[in-house]
């Protein structure tokens, strides 16, 4: 910690690459219908461009904890950038659907390395009293990337061809690579650790099975043997993986991090936050387009102010965390999320556009306050040697939560929509009714997060009382 780092360029190299990966995670969703026609594949097949992305993240992120101990920071960084760059160019030049899917998987692999690596670097180069501000900026990237993806992609599709969704990413990846060559240092302690193949297999089956099961539930239905089988096999895999880790002297993922109460609390809050965040970023545009009959690009513009204001306030939120502690930031953030959902619940087919803009601003600011601050406090509660494991655990939980959130909330929306249509209602009314119902589910979870936030403390406070 005594070494001086040029934190600005280091953060820029890592976060620009992270933004590209997270932007790509949602940007292609708006183009799936067009891509299905272009490559002559059905809806179930084209959906793999989204499912494959989530699945790759769910499989690779659990392994990064031990990879960050086995390889240097620069080796991990350049591997991440190389995978992202090759994947992006391959996708842009795709002559067939198979090439496009391969490009997406390579992009996701790059992001799976980047996210844990960025957190690990932040917790190494910044002292505890400055981590909140740094994580606030990372939180901004984690929110802005997925939120801006559909807006920018919609603009590109209206003016250019789908390939440009990928080509616009290439200059940013190259910028990250150039900065990284000069400024990204080796900050981790490399140890001679053997990678336990059985642990990797169990992790892949476990987390991959759960993510896959939830991801395909929308197309296959919840009663499908594929969905039920995948989730059950995944759960068994996770249990066997956990049992093996607890018996190993050098586990692939050190689950002993769960003996720290603040870490457990933070993991629960992160799960709810990502479950709600990623599902709302899918459901809200559906409500606006089907319930309010807005065009795709107009939908993106309505949601833009919330994303931009969150970008402006993210560094300030981080500094508030450093100065006043977690509860002063996280609890007010959960209250804003509750207010946001309470307003969403009241919306119908006659809701004014300005009302959606204001509500989304409130919700986005709340999520921005909760997201990064919770992650920072969660990892601060661990000893330094547990950071790689804690980061891999929290990132894995977040990806599983995102996949579950999108699948469950969209399924509930569809079920409510269908029952409303069966009663003779118009599609707009049915969509508004279904959206209001799933917003109510989000509200209930947001209230749970508010209650959990009341138990949040600085790790130092807990240690002094222990």
Task: Tell me the pLDDT tens digit for each residue of 111-149.
Answer: 999 988 998 888 888 888 888 888 888 877 877 787 788
Asked if the model's pLDDT at residue 466 lies above 60, the reply is: no
Question: Binning pLDDT at 50, 70 and 90, where does residue 462 land?
Answer: very low
The answer to whether 49 and 30 have CB atoms below 8 angstroms apart is: no
Sequence-separated (6 or more) residues with CB below 8 Å from residue 286: 410, 413, 431, 435
Would you say residue 222 has pLDDT above 80? no
Closest CA to 376 of 319, 332, 334: 319
Q: Which residues contact 426 (CB under 8 A, 6 or more apart)?
A: none
Q: Which one-letter DSSP state was computed for residue 71?
A: S
**Percent of the chain, pLDDT > 70?**
97
Q: Do domains 1-183 and 259-466 have the same CATH topology?
A: yes
Q: C-alpha distances in angstroms, 246 versus 82, 232, 382, 400?
A: 34, 21, 18, 21
Per CATH, the number for 1-183 is: 1.20.1250.20
Q: What letter does residue 193 receive in the DSSP assignment?
A: -
All residues at 6 or more sequence positions from 201 whose CB lies less than 8 Å from its CB, including other chains: none
Q: What average pLDDT score do residues 305-316 get? A: 81
Which residue in the block uniquely carries the two structure tokens 């977040």? 398
Residue 45, pLDDT > 90, answer no
Three-state secondary-structure class, residue 248: coil
Contact 147, 314 (CB under 8 A): no
Residue 251 and residue 200: Cα distance in Å, rounded?
Answer: 11
**Lookup result for tokens 């390889």:** 71
Mean pLDDT of all residues belonging to the chain: 85
d(CA 132, CA 21): 23
In 3D, which of 135, 138, 168 has the Cα closest to residue 15? 138
pLDDT band at 90 (very low <50, low <70, confident <90, very high): very high
When pLDDT is cut at 50, 70 and 90, the band that residue 93 belongs to is very high
CA atoms within 13 A on the CB side of 36: 13
Q: What is the pLDDT of residue 305?
A: 87
Q: Where are the domains of the chain?
A: 1-183, 196-251, 259-466
- Spatial contact of 103 and 55, defined as CB atoms under 8 Å apart: no
What CATH class is the domain 259-466?
Answer: mainly alpha
Q: Are 290 and 418 in contact (CB under 8 A)?
A: no
Q: What is the mean pLDDT of residues 158-174?
A: 90
């Amino acid at each position: 910690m005594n070494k001086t780092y040029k934190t600005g360029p280091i953060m820029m190299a890592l976060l620009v690459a992270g933004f590209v990966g997270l932007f790509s995670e949602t940007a292609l969703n708006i183009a799936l219908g067009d891509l299905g026609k272009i490559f002559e594949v059905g809806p179930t097949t084209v959906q793999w461009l989204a499912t494959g992305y989530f699945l790759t993240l769910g499989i690779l992120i659990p392994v990064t904890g031990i990879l960050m101990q086995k390889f240097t920071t620069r080796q991990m960084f350049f591997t991440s950038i190389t995978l992202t760059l090759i994947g992006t160019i391959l996708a842009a030049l795709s002559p067939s659907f198979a090439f496009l899917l391969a490009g997406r998987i390579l992009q996701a692999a790059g992001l799976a390395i980047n996210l844990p690596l960025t957190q690990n670097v932040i917790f190494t180069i910044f002292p505890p009293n400055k981590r909140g501000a740094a994580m606030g900026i990372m939180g901004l990237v984690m929110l802005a990337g997925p939120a801006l993806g559909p807006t920018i992609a919609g603009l590109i599709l209206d003016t250019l061809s789908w390939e440009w969704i990928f080509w616009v990413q290439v200059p940013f990846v190259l910028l990250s690579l150039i900065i990284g060559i000069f400024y990204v240092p080796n900050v981790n302690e490399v140890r001679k650790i053997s990678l336990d193949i059985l642990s990797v297999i169990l992790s892949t089956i476990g987390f991959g099975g759960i993510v896959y099961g939830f991801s395909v539930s929308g197309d296959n239905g919840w009663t499908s043997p594929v969905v039920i089988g995948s989730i059950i096999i995944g759960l068994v895999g996770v249990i066997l993986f956990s049992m093996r880790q607890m018996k190993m002297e050098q586990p692939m993922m050190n689950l002993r991090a769960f003996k720290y109460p603040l870490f457990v609390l933070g993991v629960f809050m992160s799960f709810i936050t990502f479950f709600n965040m990623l599902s709302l970023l899918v459901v809200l545009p559906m409500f606006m387009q089907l319930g309010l009959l807005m065009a795709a690009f107009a939908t993106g513009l309505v949601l833009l102010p919330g994303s931009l204001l969150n970008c402006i306030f993210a560094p300030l939120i981080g500094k508030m965390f450093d100065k006043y502690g977690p509860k002063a930031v996280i609890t007010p953030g959960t209250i804003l999320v509750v207010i946001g959902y309470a307003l969403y619940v009241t919306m119908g087919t006659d809701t004014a556009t300005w009302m959606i803009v204001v509500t989304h601003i409130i919700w986005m600011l709340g999520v921005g306050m909760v997201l990064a601050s919770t992650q920072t406090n969660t990892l601060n509660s661990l000893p330094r040697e547990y950071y790689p494991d804690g980061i891999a655990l929290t990132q894995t939980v977040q990806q599983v939560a995102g996949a579950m959130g999108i699948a469950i909330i969209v399924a509930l929306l569809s079920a409510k929509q269908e029952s409303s249509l069966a009663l003779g209602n118009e599609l707009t009314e049915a969509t508004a009714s279904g959206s209001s119902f799933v917003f109510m589910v989000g509200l209930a979870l947001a209230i749970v997060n508010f209650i959990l936030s009341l138990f949040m403390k600085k790790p130092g406070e807990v240690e002094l009382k222990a």
